[in-house]
Amino acid sequence: MRLSKNFVPTLKEVPADAVITSHILMIRTGMVRQLSAGIYSFLPLGYKVLQKVVEIVREEMNAIGGQEFHFPGLNPKEIWEQTGRVEAFGDILFHVKNREYVLAPTHEEIVAYHAKGVVKSYKDLPQIWYQIQTKFRNEPRPRSGVIRGRQFLMKDAYTLDATPEGLDVGYAKHDSAYRKIFDRCSIKYFVVGAASGAMGGSKSEEFMVQSDAGEDNIAYCEETGYAANVEVAQSIPESIKWNEEEKEVYDIHTPDVKSIDELCEFLKIDETETAKSRIYIHNEETPILVLMLGNEEVNEEKLVKALGGAVRPAHEEELKEISGADAGSIGPIGFKPKIIADLRLKGGKNLYSGANKNDYHIGGIDLERDVSGLEYFDLRFVKSGEKTFDGKGVLEVFKAIELGHIFKLGTKYSEALGVNFTDEDGEEKPIIMGSYGIGIERILACYIEQNHDENGIIWGTHLAPYHIHLAGLNLKKEELSSKCEEIYETLQSYGYDVLFDDRIDATAGIKFNDADLLGMPVQVIAGERNLKENKVEIKLRRSGERFIVGLDELKDKLSEIFSHK
Ligand code: ATP
Ligand code: MG
């Protein structure tokens, strides 16, 4: 490919809306351009890499017996209504205005639809169906370039099984295929158990990449290998030394004191002497007061697990009616409806909390004595530095990007859509499903996040759009130009995909910078001095090593280099 004739619009300046490295570099290298918020066009260079990723994913999916489909993005809304997911997805789902269609954000429904009445017997099972196809999600905050787009490519796979054991096998196959895919793409990842969210199901795991651009918080322990989303992560936090002095509860006038910080400041006490109250509504009818130690936030995922059913925070205007006070003055003493507390508060004595009366707090609270039948659950978020739950290591909490997700769905979709099969005993049962997604653009972006330096991208041979970047210098000179043309032909005849910087007007400096920016694994620099001696310079992008090589030994030198990559 010739840089002079092809569309590779590299940029020197960093676009203002691009803040994370992969986004900046994908724009600077002319791989992508934004069309609208969260909507990107892939330009030829970017599309070439995308196709390489797709090919790796496809090979590994085929290797586990996956059958490739292509389902439409435009779906009749009715099918999505039958599973209740028009509502579950809410604003994320794109609706097509002039027809009763939605743009599919995932394809469980469509898989179930096609299996219905066709996959009839246990003899037709198991099946692995997959596709690599465009998904549409009206993400409220598209950001980080292609990492969170409103339209993106997903490899989504679905298993159909007759038994839970069959599902285990299909799930394990995907787990191993995903590891191979990410290894082949040279991505450092780790796997965490996850909450299943809007998908519903029994077991799921996420393949994550550590990155400040991530929107998931992960608790990870190097020593023990423990990794979990903070939504579900457990730890052993430092235990609290309670003030054991026996006191009755007493009112304290605390004008304008609302937050825990203000309360600590006002009373000159430590955060761990306070209990924060949050009111939630359980199943749209029962108010529940959730007590947390000090400033700790309620982990709503854990709360849902503890209570079962649907849970939402009470609205501002509901608080007074439920508790008698506004936010900032609510507390457990005299609170009539149900109260639950975080485990860290167990044994809590001489605590300060709201009085359910504006501008008042209560001191001297002994939870065991003053709140009858109080139940305790793990309702908090773990923090960096806390001991792992098994006590064998220390947790670190950091941000990460989800690259892939594997779910045991169970029969949620087959039941909703009536997708049944007949088992060995002639009994009719719903098909057991699994679903497995990978974000194709995210692989690309995460690769760049992990493989770059201050000058640009560093491609490995598996994903590189071209093996070799040939930089021809001083091409205004006829004899140099024709020599470079020859080298270009020769390199291709050796079987390499070559990007030839044949621009006549670009200076050597610009060419070197672009070669580093675009990041092909091997640069062949053909300058006047070396060419005169029938030599070229080779520069390895990752290590920066340079060699001067005679044209007659170029073939051997390159095969030696590429055999190590
Ligand atoms: P996230 O928590 O990041 O929103 P998700 O849980 O919604 O992800 P899934 O529904 O499990 O994602 O989709 C499977 C895969 O598709 C994800 O692991 C991710 O790699 C990719 N993906 C999801 N949403 C987007 C998006 N908006 N842009 C690009 N890729 C995405
Ligand atoms: Mg999402």
The CATH number of whichever domain residue 356 belongs to comes to 3.90.960.10
Is cis: bond before 126, omega within 30 of 0? Answer: yes
Q: Is residue 154 within 6 Å of ligand 1 at its C-beta?
A: yes
Q: Is residue 155 within 6 Å of ligand 1 at its C-beta?
A: no
Q: What is the CATH number of the domain that holds 161?
A: 3.30.930.10
Q: Is residue 109 within 6 Å of ligand 1 at its C-beta?
A: no
**Residue 122 and residue 208 in one domain:** yes
Mutation to probe ligand 1, out of 442, 443, 449 (largest number of atoms < 8 A from CB):
442
The one-letter code for the residue type at 18 is: A
**Residue 211 and residue 115 in one domain:** yes
**Residue 327 and residue 209 in one domain:** no
Q: What is the CATH number of the domain that holds 546?
A: 3.40.50.800
**Residue 373 and residue 423 in one domain:** no
Q: Is residue 108 within 6 Å of ligand 1 at its C-beta?
A: no
Q: Can you give the residue range of the structural domain that contains 542?
A: 459-563
User: Pick from 417, 448, 479: which residue ends a domain?
Assistant: 448
Domain total of the chain: 3
Q: CA quadruple 329, 330, 333, 334: dihedral positive or negative?
A: positive
The one-letter code for the residue type at 385 is: G
- CA distance linking residue 564 with residue 218, whole number of Å: 34
In this structure, is residue 385 part of a structural domain?
no
Say what the pLDDT of residue 199 is. 46
Say what the pLDDT of residue 212 is. 87
Question: What b-and-e string marks burial along 116-125, b requiring 16 or more CB atoms within 10 Å of the CB?
Answer: eeebeebeeb
User: What tens-digit pLDDT sequence spans the chain (565 residues)?
Assistant: 999 999 999 998 887 889 999 999 999 999 999 999 999 999 999 999 999 999 999 999 999 999 999 999 999 999 999 999 999 999 999 999 888 999 999 999 999 999 999 999 999 999 999 999 999 999 999 989 999 999 999 999 999 999 999 999 999 999 999 999 999 999 999 998 865 444 445 788 999 999 988 989 999 998 998 999 899 899 999 999 999 999 999 999 999 999 999 999 999 999 999 999 999 999 999 999 999 999 999 999 999 999 999 999 999 999 999 999 999 999 999 999 999 999 999 999 999 999 999 999 999 999 999 999 999 999 999 999 999 999 999 999 999 999 999 999 999 999 999 999 999 999 999 999 999 999 999 999 999 999 999 999 999 999 999 999 999 999 999 999 999 999 999 999 999 999 999 999 999 999 999 999 999 999 999 999 999 999 999 999 999 999 999 999 999 999 999 997 6
**Residue 490 and residue 413 in one domain:** no
Atom number, ligand 1, closest to the C-alpha of residue 148: 28
Mutation to probe ligand 1, out of 20, 150, 153, 154 (largest number of atoms < 8 A from CB):
154
Q: Which of 276, 270, 329, 279 is nearest to 300 (CA)?
A: 279
Q: Which ligand is nearest to the CA of 437?
A: 1
pTM of the model: 0.84
User: Pick from 422, 448, 474: which residue ends a domain?
Assistant: 448
- By the 8 A CB rule, do 538 and 546 touch? yes
**Which tokens is 177 given?**
């295929």
**Residue 332 and residue 437 in one domain:** no
Q: How far is CA 67 from CA 62, 127, 135, 156, 411, in A?
A: 7, 8, 19, 11, 21
In this structure, is residue 454 part of a structural domain?
no
- By the 8 A CB rule, do 277 and 353 touch? yes
Q: Is residue 132 within 6 Å of ligand 1 at its C-beta?
A: no
In this structure, is residue 13 part of a structural domain?
no
**Residue 203 and residue 95 in one domain:** yes
Question: How far, in Å, from the CA of 203 to the mean position of ligand 2?
Answer: 18
Q: Is residue 149 within 6 Å of ligand 1 at its C-beta?
A: yes
Q: CA quadruple 207, 211, 217, 223: dihedral positive or negative?
A: positive
Atom number, ligand 1, closest to the C-alpha of residue 156: 14
Q: Is residue 214 within 6 Å of ligand 1 at its C-beta?
A: no
Question: How far, in Å, from the CA of 147 to the mean position of ligand 2?
Answer: 11
In this structure, is residue 553 part of a structural domain?
yes
Q: Is residue 441 within 6 Å of ligand 1 at its C-beta?
A: yes
**Residue 66 and residue 175 in one domain:** yes
**Residue 425 and residue 509 in one domain:** no
**Residue 157 and residue 83 in one domain:** yes
Q: Is residue 66 within 6 Å of ligand 1 at its C-beta?
A: no
Question: How far, in Å, from the CA of 197 to the mean position of ligand 2?
Answer: 9
Question: How far, in Å, from the CA of 277 to the mean position of ligand 2?
Answer: 30
Q: Is residue 403 within 6 Å of ligand 1 at its C-beta?
A: yes
Q: Is residue 446 within 6 Å of ligand 1 at its C-beta?
A: no
